[in-house]
Structure 1
Amino acid sequence: MADIDMDDAPVAADPQTTGYFSNVLSEAELDEKYPDRPKNTKPTPPFSALYQEVFEPLLANKQKKVGIGGRGTKMLKPHEVRRQIIDQFIAKWRAQVGPDIYPAFRLIMPDKDRDRTVYGLKEKNIGKILVKVMKIDKNSDDGNAMINWKLPGQRSTGDFAGRCYEIIKKRPMRTKPGDMTIEQVNELLDKLAGATKEDVQLPILTEFYNNMNPEELMWLVRIILKQMKVGATEKTFFDAWHPDAEHLFNVSSQLKRVCWELWDPAFRLGGEDLDINLMSCFQPQLAQFQKRSLETVVKSMGLENENDVFWIEEKLDGERMQLHMHNGQFKFWSRKAKDYTYLYGGDFESGSLAQFLKKAFNPKVKSIILDGEMITWDPKLDTIVGFGTLKGAAIEQARNPEDQECNRPLFKVFDILYLNGKCLTKASLEDRREALKASVINVDRRLEIHDITEATTVEEIETQLRQIVAEGSEGLVIKNPRSMYKLNDRNDDWIKVKPEYMTEFGEELDCLVIGGYYGSGRRGGILASYLCGLRVDGEFCSDGEPKFWSFFKVGGGFNASDYKHIQHITEDKWIKWGENPPKGTIELAGSGRRLFEKPDVWIKPRDSFVVSVKAAQVTSTDQFRMGKTLRFPRFKEFKKDKDWSSALSINGFVELKAEIDMDMTKKMDVEHKKRQTAKRRKKEVIILGQDEKVTEPYAGPKTNLFEGQSFYVLTESTSPKKSISEIEQLIKSNGGRTYKNESAAEGIRIIGDRNVVKVAALKRKGTFDIIRPSWIFACLAHHEAEQARGNPGGYILPLEPPDLFYATEETAQRVANTVDCYGDSYTRDVGPDDLLKLLESIDDDDVDTRDSDQVKDELLEEYETVFDELPGWIFADSCVHLDYARLAAKNDLPESTDVDEADRLSNLWKLEIAELLIRFGDGVVADKIGDEDVTQVVVGPDRSRVEKIRNAISSKKKVPRLVDVDWVGQSMEARTLLDEARFAVTSAASA
């Protein structure tokens, strides 16, 4: 790798003169540290201007979901209104305050402001302080409602800021907006962030209370909690401020830097300014959410050829971390840009990790940035420990560096992004890996290069998945070795794959509910999730109650009727934990006042009920008394025939887990034997093929679509990935002729997708159009679609702007009329990908670039049960076939078919509604029952084909669940994916 040679690369500048660091500084200190920073010429406006001109209008626009406009004016769409609100505020700020918008942005985007330390205040802490500020009896209705904000009985249940507003407006110090300016609010918040004791926090919040009205205080609380949710993302604000703002934030994670360096909209950043910098935190690349099948994972990377290699990494259960080192000085940052240098060490003599890294780098390495995962290692067991133990292990190791037996942080490195002054993000992952191996030396159980496995087949991913499930690991990450590093982005170059819900436990994982947690948001005021435990075999308390250990928390899979059933059977049996905690009956993890996963209420085991659950896997933890827990548990059904005595016990779980581990080992052995047999068979085929190369016969369509057409294919196709010979074969199979010269035939169509030498020469010549290979695929797809509809097809599509890699001026003008002003085709069907591109082009300056998978993944990391409140994602992991047989138009059915017309139309309507709901819920509808990805087969009330369907699916590798059509509608109504077993079709009798 000549371009990443350590001898030739320049040494980076001193980070102390280039970085941006978080400190509360005086004006003089700021002038000295940032001499070129912009300065406002007038005072900042009142804080009330923020909520009146930004927060409230944005929130109102979000809730309306419609455009606005008066008579004779253009109706504005919601995203246009949103951008207009922000543009007006920024313009007004520039005109009336000055060029420095940082004071406002740090209140608008508090979660992006790294210069203010965390407040250390959660809802309950704020509630207790506000009760004292307002001099309310904490045992009064309002005092209790403020502190126990999740408890039912109030209109704003589940919304803490809303609860504060309701109580404050009964006793406000001001009814009109106050006079506190944005600058004054920031100064007080700086003091609050530095306060750790209540006697310091109390006078600060008292000053806010005395000078703000209830609306202002409600938004202040949201700023402190960093839970704004105003209906606009940081991208929208960044784009409105400056075209380079988002990119600069991605490479620096510094809101202050974005505001101070990009105050002039006319100024644009250069190439090096958009690269990551040493000792400056950046927003790392993230892995895309899992695809519906492993086959899709491989295809989405463009790895369709048999010999295309991809990499498999184990997904580690730790904290994403970036390590920066310059001449022996270290910086550590988390994914959310939290500085952990104090914990892991700033040089070779300090911290729980840096002091052990003296021999971790090649002597030629002067500066380096590494990306990886910080995990906890138990040296006594020689194994990884759950993520929740990381900080404690780091503190203990820092205190006792000589202790070789205490748990320690271990940094697993999977990428290198900077080396001796060179940014490597534009190098391929393959080349970065070579640079990493040349630069970093493993320090056993302190810093290690993460292992990769090279693979070319889906079967190899399945084998790795089985192994990591057996070992209790978190999952896998599949990576494209030819990919570049893309900051703050999720794409198909990195895809994480988690184990599917374990079918091994089936209905045997039946656990007793021992506690409950009140929900927030839509589920505010009800017990939305439950603590389940395992019975301690043979042990009872003095009052005769059996003992249970906390095991896991479940909140997904319940519908409204399930909650009503629980409420009915447990009425008056729940006990508030704080008022009357269980004495020995229920044991949580932790001790004293520090108990983990403490429920809001608990229930005596003899009064409780048993639920059946399924989950992704079993994993180690210190958050539950068992020391293990279920990952992503999901409610399946109530076990009405079981009680506390027959629920799963500790010994029962241990035996069950041992059986599953043994079965998993056997399956892995069988898979290994299958692979060995397949390899031997493959070798035999090659021998029988004699000396000639064996090629697969062409399996694509064969038509006369390109008859009379001549083609010259210059390059391969990049998406989908196909070679020149494959494209030529496709053309010939459909009646076309291929040549090796642009002058070989009149009207020849030149095909190219890359700027190779020959393509560049033809572009300079300026007399030929160069058509992308995707046009050929589009023509064939359109032809097949027309024939499927009963139309003859038989014509090739007219060229459109996206089809042309290069066009002459005459052609460019002609094809411009084949699409509308947004690029929507007049002749072609619009698929999901095309529609997404159209929407992006319509609102290109204000589109949220995160896709649904990214949002889903981010929410999943923060809120385990979030999908239960999002109908648009309910069927995201489902591929459903609906049995429309016998429901076709009556004239299309055989004369002997006895179908009542009213029943036929009713059943057809139910299935059509179900199909619409599945598609709306991000599910896939499979046309054929034999499709490999099918996960469920839905049947209507007519059960005459059930046995035929069972026979059709019984031979599949993964048998789909056969469910009644009501499963779809009730899941959508409940806003959660209900367990299929509750809707299983068990009889072929007509319902």
Structure 2
Amino acid sequence: MMKFERLGQKLSELERVSSRNRMTELLAELVREVEVNEADVVAYLILGRLRPLYDSLEFGLAEKQVQKAVARVTEKDLGEVVSVYKKEGDLGEVVEGLLKSGPSRLTVVEVHKILERIAKESGAGSQERKLVGLASLLGDLDGLSAKYVVRIVLGKLRLGFSDKTLLDAVSWAYRGDKSAKSKLERVYQMRPDIGWLVKSVKEKGIDEVANKIEMELGVPISPMLCQRLKSSKAMIKKMGRVAVEPKFDGTRVQIHFRRGGKDWEVRTFTRNLEETSKMFPELKEMVLHVKADELVLDSEAVGIDPKTGKMMSFQMTITRKRKHGVANQAGKVPLKFFVFDVMYLDGKSLIDKTYEERRAILKDVIKDKDLLVVDDYWETDDPKKIRQMHERLLGEGLEGVIVKKLGSEYVPGRTGWRWVKMKEVEESHAKLSDTVDCVVMGYYRGRGKRAQFGIGAFLVGIKGGSGYVTVTKVGTGLTDELFRELKNRLDRLVVRERPSEYVIDKALEPDVYVEPELVVELAADEVTESPTHTAGLALRFPRLVKLRDDKSVDQITSLRELKEMRI
């Protein structure tokens, strides 16, 4: 069994590496080195987690509490710990420098169990029990190991690689190259549990795992995503005869239903696989609305104004996620779930069935339109009809249309030309045919009136290569309330140094860097060439459309996609 001290040494080696290929090789060595019964735990921990994305377990410890734990284990005054931290900017570095304990005998599995126990503490006095538990664990570790445990607890392990890099490493470990990457990605999209994947491959091999992967009720699959095309003519040319569906301004919800289940009856997940079951209490009534015992649906949840019956904006719908008192918020923002696909029915996966077959099944299993609404679709091979439908739906307050290839299967992720979106924001004066999803990389302190907010503009980027490249600064079109909200949320993501995956020209360096977590949707007039933005392109006259709490940074626009959007 691997000692945690050994894992700490491997993490330290990874932290010093900037080459993506070398990083992959080191991770491959680690994958080969760990034993089967600890492989899942190691995979979670090196990504700074305790469990898979869809089964998140948070520590619930504020930075001040962790500082107290460090002070307790190092036998230093809290003021001294805080003072050193202000200089270092990294609490992990602080505990490594101050801790005097010797070599650690704890295994990786033992440390993981202790961390899970700390995270699960709840109820009266739980914060003190968490603090005592963390201090005790740190005292049983060497300084280097304690450094990484503190970073994991604070959610700041970030070593510059992601799940996808680890998939590359698994391929490298067993094939000597990245030739198995596509197989492993398909497995991960079907079951997005990196720990299970690494453990299963070590036990059974890549081919057996890839050939036998199936959907599992209660475990989300990566949602099927849309590609972009500039025109309806291009859509027909690429896809032939298509189905045209309305695009709702809601939040994507994958619904898993199990009639009479003991542990759960309904589980829901966002497009980035976060479980949100508590966000939708109305789905407890789902048992009355479906003719099935087991079901997985793809839907868009849209808020409905209780006074007018009209659909509400995305920002109103998403308040379910951002506010406490969900039951009270449910009364203010009642929802309808516009269901557009079915992936699983009574023990059988449906993803290999055609679009038309899945649609027929969907219409049959949904009983009424009170809670779950099967949205309409229209078949055509005429680009003009796509455009007419798009303009009509925009006029009705929707986001336009989604165009889907008839006869296509449900394929997790964004692959091929099966689903294409046609969504224009501020169409009357915006030349760019679609919005761009970006990650906030940092912000600039405000001047004049904006000095009161502490933020005057923010820098955003998109995916480029193995990191993030800049495309624009945004500082106009935001309300005072939104500036305040941005500042509050970004302050929780502040880092002392520029993240290694950021590629930023010196002329654009922000006053404050933040971790790549907050996703924003932007509209712009056009995409132009840029000598200063590291994408080589820039958004002209950018405008913030909305904060995308339902999207992860893995789902932001790529440089390839932005190039394709140029007119």
Q: Which of the five TM-score ranges fits, normalised by the shorter chain?
A: 0.5 to 0.7
Q: Secondary structure at the residue paired with 1:264? A: helix
* Residue number among 438, 444, 447 corresponding to 1:527 in the alignment: 444
Give the Cα separation in 2 of the matches to 1:131 and 1:442. 55
Task: State whether residues 251 and 275 of structure 1, in contact with CA within 8 Å, keep that contact through their aligned partners in structure 2.
Answer: yes
Q: Deviations over 1:362-412 (max 9, x none)?
A: 4xx333222222333332231333332224799654x799xxx64323222
What residue is the counterpart of 1:106 in the other structure? 44
Q: How does 1:696-715 map to 2 (within 5 A)?
A: none
CA distance in 2, matches of 1:555, 1:434: 46
**1:433 matched residue in structure 2:** 359
Q: Report if aligned partners of 1:532, 1:551 keep a CA contact under 8 Å in 2.
A: no
Aligned to 2:347: 421
Alignment match, 2:190: 251
Q: Does 1:91 align with 2:44?
A: no
What is the match of residue 168 of structure 2? 236
Aligned to 2:99: 172
SS at match of 1:479: strand
Give the 3-state SS of the residue equivalent to 1:353 in structure 2.
Answer: helix
Count of paired positions: 476
Provide the residue aligned with 2:204 in structure 1. Answer: 265
Q: Aligned partner of 1:50: which letter? A: L
Query: In structure 2, which of residues 420, 428, 438 is the aligned counterpart of residue 495 of structure 1?
Result: 420
Q: Deviations over 1:41-76 (max 9, x none)?
A: xxx2222322423x3444545x136xxxxxxxxxxx
The one-letter amino acid of 2:296's match is: I
* Alpha-carbon spacing, 1:180–1:294, altered in 2? closer, same or farther (3 Å): farther
Pairing partner for 1:632 from 512, 522, 538: 522
Instruction: Please state how far the C-alpha of 1:360 moved relative to its aligned partner.
Output: 1.7
Contact 1:245 1:262 in 2 (8 A): no
State the partner residue of 2:19. Answer: 64
Amino acid in the other structure paired with 2:295: I
Q: For residue 333 of structure 1, what is the aligned residue in structure 2?
A: 268
- 1:48 aligns to 2:14 (yes or no): no
Q: Which residue of 1 aligns with 2:215?
A: 276
Name 1:876's counterpart in structure 2. Answer: 563
Q: Distance in 2 between matches of 1:531 and 1:118?
A: 42
How far apart, in 2, do the equivalents of 1:427 and 1:209 lie?
A: 52
Q: Given the superposition, is the C-alpha separation of residues 91 and 134 from structure 1 closer, same or farther in structure 2, using an over 3 Å criterion? A: same
Cα gap change, 1:192/1:491 in structure 2, threshold over 3 Å: closer, same or farther? farther
Looking at CA atoms only, which structure, 1 or 2, has the larger radius of gyration? Answer: 1
The answer as to 2:159 corresponding to 1:220 is no
Query: Cα distance, 1:321 vs. partner?
Result: 1.8
- Find 2:333's aligned residue among 384, 407, 416: 407
Q: Which residue of 2 aligns with 1:126?
A: 63
1:389 to 304, 315, 319: 319
For residues 761-776 of structure 1, what are the structure 2 equivalents within 5 Å?
none
Tell me, in whole angstroms, the C-alpha distance in 2 between the residues paired with 1:271 and 1:261: 10
The secondary structure found in structure 2 opposite 1:352 is helix
Instruction: After superposition, give the CA deviation of every residue in 1:69-116 in whole Å (9 maximum; x if it has no partner).
Output: xxxxxxxxx2xx55543443333334xxx5552232221345562696
Evaluate the alpha carbon distance shift between residue 556 and residue 276 of structure 1 in structure 2; reply closer, same or farther with a 3 A threshold. closer
Task: Answer yes or no: is 1:451 the counterpart of 2:376.
Answer: yes
- % of aligned pairs identical? 14
Contact 1:554–1:634 (CA under 8 A) maintained in structure 2: no
3-state SS of the aligned residue for 1:414? strand
Distance 1:425 1:312 in 2: 19
Match for 2:354: what amino acid? Answer: S
Amino acid at match of 2:444: L
Paired residue for 1:287? 225
Q: How far is the alpha carbon of 1:194 from its aligned partner?
A: 0.8
Partner of 1:952: none
Structure 2 vs 1, CA of residues 285 and 56 (structure 1 numbering), >3 Å: closer, same or farther? same
Contact 2:223/2:413 (8 A) holds in 1: yes
Alpha-carbon distance in 2 for matches of 1:208, 1:315: 48
Q: Could you say what secondary structure the match of 1:192 adopts?
A: helix
- Separation in 2, partners of 1:421, 1:201: 41
Tell whether the 8 Å contact from 2:258 to 2:265 is kept in structure 1 after alignment.
yes
- 2:243 maps to 1:310: yes
Deviation at 1:493, TM superposition (A): 0.7
> What runs of 5+ residues in structure 1 fail to find an aligned partner?
1-43, 66-77, 148-153, 157-162, 345-350, 507-518, 534-544, 567-585, 603-629, 637-857, 880-934, 936-991
Q: 1:632 to 1:193 in 2, by over 3 A?
A: same
2:11 paired with 1:321: no
Conserved 8 A contact 1:131-1:146: no
Query: 2: CA distance between counterparts of 1:531 and 1:229?
Result: 38
Question: TM-score, normalised to structure 1's length?
Answer: 0.41
Q: Does 1:300 align with 2:257?
A: no
After superposition, the C-alpha distances for 1:419-476 in whole angstroms (9 at most, x for unaligned) are 23332111101111011112212232x1111232434344444444445555554454
1: CA distance between counterparts of 2:319 and 2:32? 48
Deviations along 1:821-846, whole A, 9 cap, x unmatched? xxxxxxxxxxxxxxxxxxxxxxxxxx
Change (3 A) 1:601 1:270: closer
User: For the residues of structure 1 that align with 2:14 and 2:445, how far apart are their CA atoms?
Assistant: 29
Change (3 A) 1:865 1:274: closer
Question: What SS is found at the alignment partner of 2:373?
Answer: strand
- Aligned-pair CA distance for 1:186: 0.3
Higher RCO (CA 8 Å, separation ≥ 6 residues): 2
Q: Structure 2-normalised TM-score? A: 0.67
How large is the RMSD of aligned CA atoms in angstroms?
4.9
Partner of 2:294: 367
Contact 2:222 2:273 (C-alpha < 8 Å) held by counterparts: no
Any gaps of 5 or more consecutive residues in structure 2?
A: 175-179, 432-438, 462-468, 492-519, 527-547
- Superposition deviation, residue 500 in structure 1: 5.0
